[in-house]
Chain A
Amino acid sequence: MEGLQTTVLIVAAVYLIGMLIIGYVTSSRIKTVDDFATAGRAAGGGLPVVAIAASLLATNNDTGNVLGIPEMTYGGGFGGLFWIVTVCLIVYLLMFVLGPRLRDSAASTLPDYVYRRYGNSTRVRVSVTLWSIVSAAIFLGTQLYAVAAVIQALFGIPWQYSLVPVAAVVIIYTAAGGLWAVAMTDILQWAVIIIGTALVIPLLFILKGPFSSVVLANQPAVGYASFSPGMPVLQLIGLSLGASLWVLADPALTQRFLSAQSNRAAKQGIWLWISAIYPWWILMAVIGMYARVVLPDITPAQSLVLMAGHVFPPVIAAIVFVAVLGAAQSTADSYLNVVSSMFVNDVYRPLHPGAREGHYITVARWATVVTGVLGVLVAPLFSQGIFVVALTLQMIFISAVVPVVVLGLLSPKVTEPAAFWASVAGGVVSVIWLSVGGTAGIGGVQAIYPAVGIALLIMLLFSWGKSGQAQKMEVGK
């Protein structure tokens, strides 16, 4: 690993400069806040299919995820992962309904969507803005820390040294080019990640032999390659829902649908994303299983990196490493962009209406810088177990925002008071439940169950029998 360090540092420097160039090139496209937040969708622009697919990949997969799949299969084989991703797929399929509906709402941000959906309701907008900004800002901090922590784990460079340069590059290109810069860097990063990791399998076939004769014929444990989940069904469903439900109303992911060139582009983007992510997850799982047989005594989290180092010449391996490290960057930039977009659209503009577009763009850019610096300042707090922080946030967010957004998109019968009180109650109950029982829950019951349950119950009670006065969505206003 040490011999590779210099090569990796050089590749990383070239890579960071490339990101800055993309920021510079895309900054010329930012003339309005709409360009900044939705890639100019209202003015006939918007994200093309490739950018939607790539930025769904980028936002949904961080470095922890990329390294985590081979880590999981290295230890436990294929079964658990198979069932988790199968349950996730059922949730993801809902996006084919939600994505195009979001696009048709003509809203600029997720809080703007709920504002329009619930009859120009300021209190629902404020509630969703608060939960979204807090969770996205903290998530940003976890991602920035994650890049630095992985660099430390793999190459021994203390995280304090890499945090600031990595974050500075993300902040500069995101402030300069807004969603355009975020989407373009997502395409570049994810093209490199998927090409690099997908090349590992055919190379392993050539160097070590096919999967069936290397792994299936030499299974390190009984049932290693079986479809047995290896955990109780309830735990499996809880894990899967925790991993997938937030995706439906995540502010950064929904921003892709709001910014799609067209309703059709949104649908095609989801198709491409699913048709890429499932085969790719399988390949990543298989890399972990090869690693277990070929390198039986390594730290499981290093499976991908060591297998890439095993099959590639140093320069190519370095490019794959750097791209994998960039996975966290490509998640961080999405949250950075969406926090500043929500701030200017849903906080600053309603309070200071009527200013010139140039003024709002300046505010959006400064909001990006301030949010990014705050992210860097809070990042060290996550050195105590980043996974727990991310999981806690996801649970609060799922409880406070997901029911309001998803049911609002699915049914015209949900009323404004239902949405507001469900959002408040879901958020409060999840925070209380988490502060008493942590992410493991109280008596094994995780926070999302009571919190989402109460949110759904409130929505049902408040909307019951009010279908006559259901608020129609105000499209295009």
Chain B
Amino acid sequence: MNLIDLFLLASSLWIIAMGVWMLWALTRILKCRG
């Protein structure tokens, strides 16, 4: 494991977190204005 591996893992985590947030936001939008 060196710096570039850590960077790639951090990027993956960031993207996964963003995707999960998008799904959560979608359920909120559909729930309150559907």
Contact = CB atoms under 8 A, between A and B. Distances in A.
Contact of A201 (B2, B12, B20, B25): B12
Interface in A101-117: none
A283 B1 contact: no
Give the residue among A51, A54, A201 with the most B Cβ atoms within 10 A: A201
A184 B19 contact: no
Given A198-B12, A279-B11, A212 B5 contact: yes
Contact of A188 (B9, B16, B26, B33): B26
B5 to A, nearest CB: 4
B5 A210 contact: yes
Contacts, number: 86
B22 to A, nearest CB: 4
Given A198-B16, A276-B18, A280-B15, A50 B5 contact: no
Nearest to A202: B12
A192 B16 CA distance: 9
A283 B11 contact: yes
Interface of B: 1-2, 4-5, 8-9, 11-16, 18-23, 25-26, 29-30, 33-34
A202 B9 contact: yes
Residue from A51, A197, A198, A205 having most chain B Cβ neighbours under 10 A: A198
A201 to B, nearest CB: 5
Most buried by A among B8, B11, B22: B22
A226 B3 CA distance: 16
A460 interface: no
A123 interface: no
Contacts of B1: 210, 212
B8 A188 contact: no
Interface residue SS majority, chain A: helix
A82 to B, nearest CB: 13
A283 B8 contact: yes
What bracket does the count of chain A residues touching chain B fall in? 35 or more
Nearest to A276: B18
Contacts of B21: 50
Contacts of A202: 9, 12
A90 interface: no
Contacts of A50: 21-22, 25-26, 29
B22 A201 contact: no
A191 B15 contact: no
A210 B12 CA distance: 13
Given A201-B8, A205-B9, A211-B4, A279 B22 contact: no
B19 A192 contact: yes
B15 A212 contact: no
Nearest to B10: A279
Name which of B5, B12, B14 has the most chain A CB atoms within 10 A of its CB. Answer: B12
B22 A54 contact: yes
Interface in A367-401: none
B9 to A, nearest CB: 6
B9 A283 contact: no
A16 interface: no
B23 A188 contact: yes
13 contacts: A50-B26, A187-B26, A188-B26, A194-B15, A198-B12, A198-B15, A205-B5, A212-B1, A272-B18, A279-B11, A279-B15, A282-B11, A283-B12
A236 to B, nearest CB: 23
A276 B22 CA distance: 11
B20 A195 contact: yes
A469 interface: no
Contact of A211 (B5, B15, B16, B33): B5
Interface stretch (A25-33, A134-142, A435-443): A25-33
Interface string A189-229: 01110110111011001000011100010000000000000
Ranked 3 nearest A-B pairs via Cβ: A195-B19, A198-B15, A279-B11
B15 to A, nearest CB: 4
Contact of B15 (A26, A184, A276): A276
A210 B3 CA distance: 11
A125 B1 CA distance: 57
A212 B9 contact: no
Most A CB contacts (10 A, CB to CB) among B2, B13, B16, B18 go to: B18
Contacts of A187: 22-23, 25-26, 29
A53 B26 CA distance: 12
B5 A184 contact: no
Nearest to A45: B33
